[in-house]
Copies of this chain bind each other. A is one copy, B any other.
Amino acid sequence: MKKVSKKTIQRAFLYIRTLKSLIKKNRHVISSKELAEIIGTTDVQIRKDISKFGKVGKPGIGYKTVELKSTLEDFILQEDVVKVALFGVGNLGTAILKYPEFYKDRIQIVVAFEKDKRKIGKEINEVKVYSVKEASKIMEEKGIDIGIIAVPKEYSQEVADVIVSADIKGIINFAPASINVPKEVRVKNIDLSIEFLSLYCNTKM
């Protein structure tokens, strides 16, 4: 199997999403050129990316939307479900719990953890909220893959330590602060200030 770069993988999800919406609109076939226009990239990049997953196109015709979608999905997800634990059930945490696309994409928020006793024991969108004190135990039991940090930044390192101790694969950090974790644990920082400023700077140049 050819090795597939991180960037190609990221784009593959975008292709899948776009294909889903095309399928909904009853498009059966699409060329790399048209797909590129929709997504805002080039046809060559799309063909190059797709070629990593196999030869699924027909020269002169294009790609069957349904077939291409399953090829990409199969390669990337196989039959796995990504199990997620959420830390912090404030506005942001609640927004994440209600995010509508997870189920379809085989992402499952399995549990949520909170410090605030008034929230513990509740259920939001069918996800139960536990005390953060029970986190290590419950995460291990449920076989969590990824932890999300959606707590105030003062607690982000504390929570990161709990997550790491539970033999997790990755962390998505929404707190506007750097966290320290062993380098085997992959971290994705979604720091809104950084996202805004870098978008802004790029538009200025």
User: Which residues between 86 and 108 of chain A lie within 8 Å of chain B, taking CB atoms?
Assistant: 90-92, 94-96, 98-102, 105, 107
Whether A199 and B188, one on each chain, are in contact in the complex, defined by CB atoms closer than 8 angstroms, is yes
A128 within 8 A of B: no
When all copies of this chain in the complex are counted, the total is: 2
Q: Chain B contacts of A183 at CB under 8 A?
A: 40
Whether A197 and B105, one on each chain, are in contact in the complex, defined by CB atoms closer than 8 angstroms, is yes
Whether B200 and A145, one on each chain, are in contact in the complex, defined by CB atoms closer than 8 angstroms, is yes
Contact A100 to B176, CB < 8 A, known contacts A13-B198, A146-B199, A191-B17: yes
Contact A203 to B169, CB < 8 A, known contacts A18-B178, A95-B90, A178-B14: yes
Q: Chain B contacts of A105 at CB under 8 A?
A: 193, 196-197
Chain A: how many interface residues by the 8 Å CB criterion? 59
Q: How far is the CA of A17 from the CA of B178 in the complex (A)?
A: 8
Whether B10 and A153, one on each chain, are in contact in the complex, defined by CB atoms closer than 8 angstroms, is no
Q: Chain B contacts of A13 at CB under 8 A?
A: 191, 193-194, 197-198
Q: Chain B contacts of A117 at CB under 8 A?
A: none
Contact for A6 among B6, B188, B202, CB less than 8 A: B202
Q: How far is the CA of A77 from the CA of B204 in the complex (A)?
A: 10
A172 within 8 A of B: yes
User: Which residues between 171 and 195 of chain A lie within 8 Å of chain B, taking CB atoms?
Assistant: 172, 176-178, 180, 183, 186-195
